[in-house]
Structure 1
Amino acid sequence: MIMNDMPQQDWDPKSATVLCDQHKAYDEMRERCPVAYSDFLGWSLFAHEDIVRVLNDPDTFSNVVSRHLSVPNGMDPPEHTEFRGIIEPYFRPERMEAFEPQCRKIAANLIQSLLERDKVEFISEFAQEFAVRVQCTFLGWPADMYEPLRLWALKNQQATLAEDRAAMTKIAVEFESYVDEMLEVRRAAGTQASNDVTTSLLHQRVWDRLLRKEEIVSVLRNWTVGEIGTISAAVGILVHYISERADLQQRLRAQPSLLSGAIEEILRIHGPLVANRRITLRPVEIGGQKIGAGERISLIWISANRDDRVFANSGTFQLERDQSSNLLYGAGIHVCPGAPLARLEMRVVMEELLARTTRIEPVPDSPPTGAVYPASGFATLPLRLR
């Protein structure tokens, strides 16, 4: 490609062809043009090697990509280091172990309600409901927040796709109002406030000061977007995959100890998160393309995890595959701090679903519909649970 003041477009991420089958489109781009420019995403990276290079070089590739505060993932060191230090303890093994019974109860109750129906629309009736309820329970938010949060997440996704800045601002203000209400309840209760994650954030300190309200809002917003969008997508992907493979389904029922590896492999093949962004801090060359300072970089996770140079026969399910290069949760200093909670949720869902059913099947003549970028997975997923 000839470098001009404005690069030529190598592809259109919002084209009907791409959106119809993101996996196929990204696989083709990885082989045809692994570093590709578009007006919508800037420079998109498709190769595993190039994406790992970016993840391991925060001095060149900045995470400060938004005009809005994003704690901690939208920060660079030393700010990122300081804020990450107060985030990671919420996901320690002992906390996850203590939370597991609540997570399991949510999954079991939802599954039991679905077993009474001839068929279910799994995304809206289970995956989204599960993600919202777990998130509220983890944060200590009441049940009357389930539906507002579910609708908020959907509006946030739609506004992101449309690049509707006015709508995105309105949605951000809406979420801030939810947090204001939760914090006010806890401040009014004083020493009698509930002992939960949201209350705890009121007492967290960085650089010898308490977190500011806008920082608490940002932490909670990032957790909520990741939880509701990514977890619901991941759960849908997992259940769709086994619904079409009765032999694998039965094997996992018989040997639930295999679930953790199976989950990582299925989500490697069918990633629940499409992309993440960076900004170049200095001129750089990647894959033969010269990229200036201050340019947008889009890391296409789905493509990286399907790169045959790293994962032999990447499109095939291999239960014994080495997952050490799997970028499902990222890598480097910005690797997802909430990965332990995500792994817990998905394992619990699959354990409960497989234990409470004998068959999970597609519904004839009712095919699933794919989610629309920036989401992955499925928008609808009709199933029969027996």
Structure 2
Amino acid sequence: MNDSQRQDWDPRAESVLEDQITAYDSMRRRCPVAYSDYLQWSLFRHEDVMRVLLDHETFSNAASHHLSVPNAMDPPEHTHFRQLIEPYFLPEAMAAFEPHCREIAKRVVARLPQTGEIEAMAELGQNFALEIQCAYMGWPESLHEPLRDWVERQQAATLAGDRQALGELALEFDSVIRDLLAERRTAGEAAPDDVTSCIMNETVQGRPLADEEIVSIIRNWTVGELGTIAASVGILVRYLAEHSTLQARLRGEPELLPTAIDEILRLDAPLISNRRVTRQPVEIGGRQIPAGERLTILWGSANRDEAVFGDPDELRLDRDPQTNLLYGAGIHVCPGAPLARMELRLIMEALLAGTLHLALIADKPAVRARFPAGGYSSVPIRVTR
């Protein structure tokens, strides 16, 4: 049996799926570059992940079977699309959207009960993610519930490994986007001046974007945002409900929220993994990996590496932010990081300002999400207002 056939671990084992973070901590110490038939080569160490992120000549992002703009592209094609996308997340764009974002955050918090139990993933995280993403893209409120239903069906199909259902759901989502594009084209000059319309009118290398490219960009922004923002809110709320001292400090010093949010999400990853493909034979962590092999970057492990962070569970507000891989690194660093950071800051500001205390419920523990999702599927907490 050669190196690429040996099963070092089973990512689908129940013990792994029940608590991914603990399982990854163990693998990082025992077998930091591990092979499985499910994920192929999984990278657990910060050092190895950084090497992959910074060397796009050896490690390709073109790991998808479908068009994915610009996520699954390499330079020079990736560069052209990044230049198109990045202006949407510049400080000026964020400043223009911030007042609307703040109002949505306040409305979501205001709908919580005055006092009592809530399920933070559904009532806070998912509601906020749906409403904020539709607002950012310029989509009508009538899409909130259809999108919620689509997300639930997509998550169920992902957990079941139902490839046929996932393919049908992808086509269904793309048809929603195409309908939005068609409405704007029919409206002509009366079309709304929003992010969706702006993307439709972009050019790359002097040509208009093809519909497939427009749909791919919007799909990546929306699907990624709905999942990771909701997961992030669930992680943050649960952590603060468990750590009352930090909760009280952030209520009194909300200016610490940006640093605290990034650090909490370092401890507990909302996005578990990404993929790469080797362009050539390479050695990583003493393992010989052929060309054309799939690598699985495990953010949920790399961001807890003791070699970089010491005690991975220690929350520190004085860490070097450059070591935190929450939004990646290198040329593929998440372009939407400024938007995500602003959204998370504003929802947590609204939650802390609109409540007196958040607490865990002893007989209703949070339920961990299962791969490929990060964070929690359910976060019951008690709210006092």
Report the TM-score when normalising by structure 1.
0.97
8 A Cα contact 2:20 2:370, kept in partner: no
* Aligned twin of 1:37: 35
8 A Cα contact 2:114 2:383, kept in partner: no
- 1:110 matches 2:108: yes
1:1-386 mapped onto 2 (5 Å cutoff): 3=2, 6-116=4-114, 118-386=116-384
- Is the partner of 2:335 in helix, strand or coil? coil
- Is the partner of 2:306 in helix, strand or coil? coil
- 1:102 positional shift: 1.1
Per-residue CA shift, 1:158-199, capped at 9, x if unaligned? 333433321121011101110111111110111111000110
User: In 2, distance between residues paired with 1:104 and 1:385?
Assistant: 21
Per-residue CA shift, 1:92-119, capped at 9, x if unaligned? 1011111111111111111111033521
- 1:155 positional shift: 2.6
Report the TM-score when normalising by structure 2.
0.97
User: In 1, distance between residues paired with 2:133 and 2:231?
Assistant: 15
Give, as a single letter, the amino acid of the residue that structure 2 aligns with 1:244: E
8 A Cα contact 1:123 1:232, kept in partner: yes
Give, as a single letter, the amino acid of the residue that structure 2 aligns with 1:125: E
- Is the partner of 1:324 in helix, strand or coil? helix
- Is the partner of 1:177 in helix, strand or coil? helix
Give, as a single letter, the amino acid of the residue that structure 2 aligns with 1:70: S
The CA RMSD measured in Å over matched residues stands at: 1.2
8 A Cα contact 1:157 1:374, kept in partner: no
8 A Cα contact 1:71 1:219, kept in partner: yes
- 1:375 positional shift: 0.7
User: In 2, distance between residues paired with 1:355 and 1:95?
Assistant: 25
Structure 2 residues without counterparts, runs of 5 or longer: none
- Is the partner of 2:309 in helix, strand or coil? coil
- Is the partner of 2:111 in helix, strand or coil? helix
- 1:203 positional shift: 0.6
Q: Report the more deviating stretch, 135-144 or 157-166.
A: 157-166
- 1:133 positional shift: 0.7
Give, as a single letter, the amino acid of the residue that structure 1 aligns with 2:172: E
**How many pairs align?**
384
User: In 1, distance between residues paired with 2:156 and 2:281?
Assistant: 33
Structure 1 residues without counterparts, runs of 5 or longer: none
- Is the partner of 2:382 in helix, strand or coil? strand
Alignment CA distance shift 1:307-1:258 (3 Å): same
Give, as a single letter, the amino acid of the residue that structure 2 aligns with 1:207: Q
Percent same amino acid at aligned positions?
54
8 A Cα contact 1:150 1:228, kept in partner: no
- 1:148 positional shift: 1.5
Extract structure 1 runs of 4+ deviating beyond 4 A. Answer: none
8 A Cα contact 2:271 2:374, kept in partner: yes
Give, as a single letter, the amino acid of the residue that structure 1 aligns with 2:27: M
8 A Cα contact 1:278 1:297, kept in partner: yes
- Is the partner of 1:221 in helix, strand or coil? helix
8 A Cα contact 2:133 2:222, kept in partner: yes
User: In 2, distance between residues paired with 1:152 and 1:76?
Assistant: 30
8 A Cα contact 1:35 1:287, kept in partner: yes
User: In 2, distance between residues paired with 1:335 and 1:83?
Assistant: 13
- 1:299 positional shift: 0.3
Give, as a single letter, the amino acid of the residue that structure 2 aligns with 1:129: N
User: In 2, distance between residues paired with 1:117 and 1:141?
Assistant: 32
- Is the partner of 2:127 in helix, strand or coil? helix
8 A Cα contact 1:12 1:38, kept in partner: yes
Per-residue CA shift, 1:35-58, capped at 9, x if unaligned? 000011010000000000000011
User: In 2, distance between residues paired with 1:289 and 1:163?
Assistant: 29
